[in-house]
Chain A
């Protein structure tokens, strides 16, 4: 279960749906797909509805740089607070790939 946090605090009516590996992306819905699906499914961005990706600690953002413009949300996962890989991911996204979403 993830909670969407913004600068304004917890968003109550979180419109985003985190999809599983095999769950279809309904047209019109705002969906967050796992990293591997974003890489594999070329047409995800062509649907109606916003698209996001969930990045696990071991995922390498370099591999999805070409898709960044199509993404409205990037969820960097921190499964345990001692695993700091997400901080490198976040820094690369912001500074190297200029992701501003």
Chain B
């Protein structure tokens, strides 16, 4: 796994010292909160409704056991005993006291972590497929490229004050699990005529003006990646709007110019650029690649008799396997989703004890590796099938074995009005309400894959635009209402959901979702037709009718 070099470590230390002095001045009242704001944001420290929140970067969602154990300790010593994993593969601590921030940053630095570039108009933490280096449908390890981008973009002198924040996501598998098409830049590495090439998506995003990104290139040679990214960023840095916050993202520039004209400007900029100076020499790429060398897998037969027997014997285990265990490209191994969505729980929250348990299990069963998924779950990427039953039991003891990965209660939700000062409405209780409504896991399994995503306001941190069912909190004359969207998806066939009719109050949401689900069950061809497939076959009409059925009756 990649380790910081001396250079990184030194800069992080300097930044902590600088921030220590700034925090002291704030604590003594020598500077106001307004003066302190830009300084704290440079260090990932936000001020929310009730407390400071610290956002810690987890590059491409990869953690070692030691790092996760440290995140646990911080949760225990400095927060209320838990942390919140986010859709950007970061962790947020929602109850941080100002006096504790520097000790937290020091504790993070000891395990090569920090909170730099988790805020501000710079290139943010790069996200990647959480099944990297395990998925069978992958052509390369996307983290190699994510790390190259991370090194290039950290403290980039030209791109630290962009018109707006900038998010890059990378996948190298056929199935896009990183939602690359709704990022400022999405990179999809594929095999093309026997050679690796990036398809480059630019100008996707959610927020108040959502876009699925157009592809401006489908044949970018990997060795040209950095110079090409630099050309895109330069065009954006110079031409992106700075007069209007809501129009400052690159998606607005791309849509104003048109994808073709934007691509032409990038190509022109790229043609003029001094690529040799920017692109990574092959030996440097190899040096980074070596950090991601695959673990020493044992040579195994793919089928494991003990595992099969346990599955046949133990129905609860079998159910968990069918949802939370994923095929691995190495015979005899599997990847495991550890659900952070217990029935009625808060999506993405993990207690210190749970994090410690996962850290220990990751060390024991998964070559010391843990991933954070953008769907707010944890992943053990490389587990021997023979160990799955033991692992499952250990997870169960820690409340981490909910068999719901990809199902209706595997909900993404933003912090919403429980924490966020921009929120119009709460999102967490809505997620809990739906999760409780569908508490019967048997029923969930019968419904099959269904992705619900909830945001507490138009900023769309909860990805509601790309939920199979999206839920958006709005404020109507001081009351919380929820708009339902249908048919969005964030995968390789990304689409924005369609906004349905008028919003519903919070207490009506679980039943509304249940009506949509019942209509889907009635209309699907068979169990293999997922909700999103049925929606695409039938269009929105039957589902919208179901959604508003009850309401019409009431009005009549």
| Complex Cα–Cα for A81 and B161 (A) | 8
Partner of A88, one of B121, B158, B242, B277: B158
Give chain B residues whose Cβ lies under 8 Å from the Cβ of A57.
Answer: 242
Give chain B residues whose Cβ lies under 8 Å from the Cβ of A83.
Answer: 161, 242
Give chain A residues whose Cβ lies under 8 Å from the Cβ of B234.
Answer: 88, 91
Distance in angstroms from B41 CB to nearest chain A CB is: 11
Give chain A residues whose Cβ lies under 8 Å from the Cβ of B160.
Answer: 84, 87
Contact, CB under 8 Å: A96 / B274: yes
Contact, CB under 8 Å: A95 / B158: no
Distance in angstroms from B72 CB to nearest chain A CB is: 36
Partner of B272, one of A60, A85, A96: A96
Determine if A7 is an interface residue (Cβ-Cβ < 8 Å): no
Determine if A82 is an interface residue (Cβ-Cβ < 8 Å): yes
Determine if B175 is an interface residue (Cβ-Cβ < 8 Å): no
Determine if B238 is an interface residue (Cβ-Cβ < 8 Å): yes
Contact, CB under 8 Å: A95 / B274: yes
- Number of A interface residues at 8 Å Cβ cutoff, please give it: 12
Partner of B237, one of A81, A85, A96: A85
| Complex Cα–Cα for A81 and B121 (A) | 12
- Number of B interface residues at 8 Å Cβ cutoff, please give it: 15
Give chain B residues whose Cβ lies under 8 Å from the Cβ of A85.
Answer: 237-238, 242
Partner of A96, one of B159, B242, B273: B273
Contact, CB under 8 Å: A91 / B161: no
Chain A residue nearest in CB terms to B162: A84
Determine if B281 is an interface residue (Cβ-Cβ < 8 Å): no
Chain A residue nearest in CB terms to B230: A91
Contact, CB under 8 Å: B157 / A87: yes
Distance in angstroms from A87 CB to nearest chain B CB is: 4
Contact, CB under 8 Å: A87 / B158: yes
Partner of B161, one of A60, A82, A95: A82
Distance in angstroms from B293 CB to nearest chain A CB is: 35
Chain B residue nearest in CB terms to A85: B238
Contacting B at CB under 8 A, from A26-52, are none
Distance in angstroms from A83 CB to nearest chain B CB is: 6
Give chain A residues whose Cβ lies under 8 Å from the Cβ of B159.
Answer: 84, 87
| Complex Cα–Cα for A43 and B238 (A) | 29
Residue from A57, A84, A85, A96 having most chain B Cβ neighbours under 10 A: A84
Contact, CB under 8 Å: A95 / B277: yes
Contacting B at CB under 8 A, from A57-101, are 57, 60, 81-85, 87-88, 91, 95-96
Chain A residue nearest in CB terms to B120: A82
Contact, CB under 8 Å: B161 / A87: yes
Contacting A at CB under 8 A, from B162-202, are 162
Give chain B residues whose Cβ lies under 8 Å from the Cβ of A81.
Answer: 161
Contact, CB under 8 Å: B238 / A82: no
Distance in angstroms from B120 CB to nearest chain A CB is: 9
Chain A residue nearest in CB terms to B272: A96
Interface pairs (29), CB distance under 8 Å: A60-B238, A81-B161, A82-B121, A82-B161, A84-B121, A84-B158, A84-B159, A84-B160, A84-B161, A84-B162, A84-B237, A85-B237, A85-B238, A85-B242, A87-B157, A87-B158, A87-B159, A87-B160, A87-B161, A87-B237, A88-B158, A88-B234, A88-B237, A88-B238, A91-B157, A95-B274, A95-B277, A96-B272, A96-B273
Beyond A84-B162, A85-B237, 7 extra complex contacts between A and B, CB < 8 Å:
A83-B161, A88-B158, A88-B234, A91-B157, A91-B158, A91-B234, A95-B277
4 closest cross-chain pairs (CB), A and B: A84-B161, A87-B158, A88-B237, A91-B158
